[in-house]
Structure formats: C-alpha cells, structure tokens
Structure 1
Amino acid sequence: MAVDQGTFRRAVGRFATGICVVTSREGRLDHAMTVNAFTSVSLDPLLVLVCVEREARFHDAVVEAGVWGVSVLDSGHRPVADWLANRGRPLIGQLDRIPHHRGPETDVALLDEAVATLECRTTAVYPGGDHNIVLGEVVAADVCDDRSGALLYHRGAYRQL
C-alpha cells in the first residue's frame, strides 16, 4: 500500500523538532535558510547533518562553499525563522536586520541571540530524494545559557518549549 504525501507529512509532523538557521557564504554574499531537518550524527568525530532541498538557492551555495554555520533559535526568534523561511525574500541583504557576527573558524554568519551555534566543514553530500544530506564536521561550537526556551516545530506550526 502506497503512502500519500499528505499522510506522510502529517505523520512526521508529529515529531517535534528544533528550529535552526543554517548559513553559508559564497564570496561576499551571505546565504541563510530556516531548517528543522538538522541533527547530530557522531561524537567521534563531531558530525552533524542538515537536509537541503536541491531546488533551493541555498543548496548550491552551501555545497560550493564547503563551510556552514548553525544557529539554534530560541522561542523569541519566530520572526527570524519566518523571514529566512520565506522563499521570496531578496538574496542580497537578507541578514541586514538580524544581529549576527562572523564565526572565527569559517567566517560564516552566526546569529547573535542564538541559544547555541556551530561552525561546520562539509565532509560529504549524499542524495536523499528531492533533498541532499549535507554532513559536516563541527569545527567550533558555542552555547549561551542565558536565553529562553527553544523554538520548536510540531504539527505544522511553531511551538515554544
């Protein structure tokens, strides 16, 4: 029996995920995207992955750059998540109104008010249907314990922890 896409989306939507912004830099141009398909993979070596739709303009930028950042969003970052999930936003200046700094290891943009940040170097890219799975070694990490609870995605909507 085949599973239709609608049923599949509703089923996996019952799995609560955190919300991150993944960033990369191609030349002098910053690229950013809201994601919930992010996970840790390994402690030895330190590996994480993110799933990126092949048709997204972020895809080519992150694959070509070979480095990327992850900013884990807190419950107050819903406007940031909405903005960077908007497919119609301008590419140039998309981070202008979001406070950020450059990662010391990769020079990618990291959000100033994230609850945690990671800097990664791509180690492999695997096909996964209409997405690619981008595997990265974590080369730097930072945690801010002063932030509020996490921003989550569950049942097709943002939630707060």
Structure 2
Amino acid sequence: MKNYEIKRATLEDKETLSNLLQFYIYDFSEFMDLQIEDNGKFGEYPLNEYWTDCSRFPYLISLHEKIAGFVLVKLIDRDENNSYFSIVEFFIMKRFRRTGLGKQVAKDVFGKRKVQSLAMSDIHGYVVEIHNYARFDMEPLQA
C-alpha cells in the first residue's frame, strides 16, 4: 500500500476528526442500539481530552491525500514499570476498506514500537477496532 499517511491531528483537525467519528459511530449502530439526537447527529465523542491530556494522541489517516480514517491512542501508565499504549478507536472509511489500508496502518502504528501482543476484532471482514493492549516503547508516534 503506497501513498498513505498517518499524521498527528492538530487542534485545527478537531472538527474533521469529530465529523469522522459520526461515521464511526454510525458503523457501530448496525450492531449496537445507538440513537441519533434531535439534531440528526449521534452524541459528541469526548475529543477535548486529546488536546488537553498529554497521554492521548489523535491521528488522521489519508490515502492519496484524501482523508481515509483515524486512530486514537492512549498511554496507559499504571506505574513506572507497567506503561503501554492502547488503541482506543480505529476507523477506516468504507470506501477504503478491503484495500489493505487498515491492516497496513495497524502494522505501521505498531511497527514503530516494540509490540508484546495485539488482537484485532474483525466484523464482516473489516478491521473495526483493536481490543487488546500492546506494550510499546514510550515515545508517541511522530507524524
């Protein structure tokens, strides 16, 4: 897979990420009882902490310079000897699924760090989210 990019989302990207989260939540509405609000949108995802909490890292994924998805990462810091990164949310837009992009992005995110374990949930052939935690070096993924 060529011509894709994973970049750290900036505060200017917050609206884009929020909009993508509506599609992400919509995808889950097929499997969960999720309702839209009176304004026609799903409830807002708590994104603010990704710019106020230094243990959270938002990333946008693009393919051929078009937005294709996102990855939200959180540092879980239990103590100085037991810290690891967790994929909180992982989303690839439907038009880019089954192209290998999600698989490559997951490899890229985890390939930049030492991975202890990784398990993916595959719903109807689509990589939707990463459930189990992986252990990493403590440097956040750089854009």
| Structure of higher RCO (CA pairs closer than 8 Å, 6+ residues apart) | 1
Same fold (TM over 0.5): no
Q: TM range, normalised to the smaller chain?
A: 0.3 to 0.5
Higher strand share: 1
Normalised TM-score (structure 1): 0.33
